[in-house]
Structures are given as structure tokens and as C-alpha cells.
Amino acid sequence: MGRPGVDVVYLAVLLGVALRSDRLWTLFPAAFQLIAVIIYAAKAIDARPGPRAPYVGVEIWSYLILTAVAVGVLQHRRPPDAPAIPPSHST
């Protein structure tokens, strides 16, 4: 199984997590991974962009997936009743 196959399996895992989770942030990594899989499908349909184009495009979306997961995990660690931005302690 080549890299597109791995990305399709990863999409299935992310979709499974997003559908079972009650957190909104889980939708973002799944959506970004869906775009990466669509890039591979577009490359399979039309080979004009060049052999490395889909890999560069998928690499960009991979960073967005990592960012979405990092933000989601950091938000999950905060207690649900805590404010998103702590109040300032001005004197």
C-alpha cells in the first residue's frame, strides 16, 4: 500500500474519531485529511501538475492537521468552566 493508501486509512481513523467524539475540534483534522486525499484523487485524474505536486500539497495540510490536534488537546486540558482567556489582573 502506497502513501495514498495510508492517507485513506488515516482519513478513516480521523472520521471515526470525529463521529464518535463530542468535541468540535476533531472535525478539523478529519476535514484537512479529506482535502489531502482529494489532492491524491485529483493527481490520479490529471497528471499535468507534476509528480511532486500532490506530496507538497499534502505536506501543507499535514501541518494544519498537527496544529488542529495541538489546539484541540490544549483546549481539552483546560477545565470546561475555565474562561478561554484568563482575566487580566490589572491594578
Give residue 82's pLDDT band: very low, low, confident or very high (50, 70, 90): low
At residue 59, the pLDDT reads 83
The Cα–Cα gap between 44 and 40 comes to: 6
At residue 14, the pLDDT reads 93
The Cα–Cα gap between 34 and 71 comes to: 19
Q: Where are the domains of the chain?
A: 3-75
Q: What is the pLDDT of residues 11-68, one digit of tens each?
A: 999 999 999 988 888 999 999 999 989 888 888 887 776 777 777 777 888 898 889 8
pLDDT of 91 > 60? The answer is no
At residue 1, the pLDDT reads 38
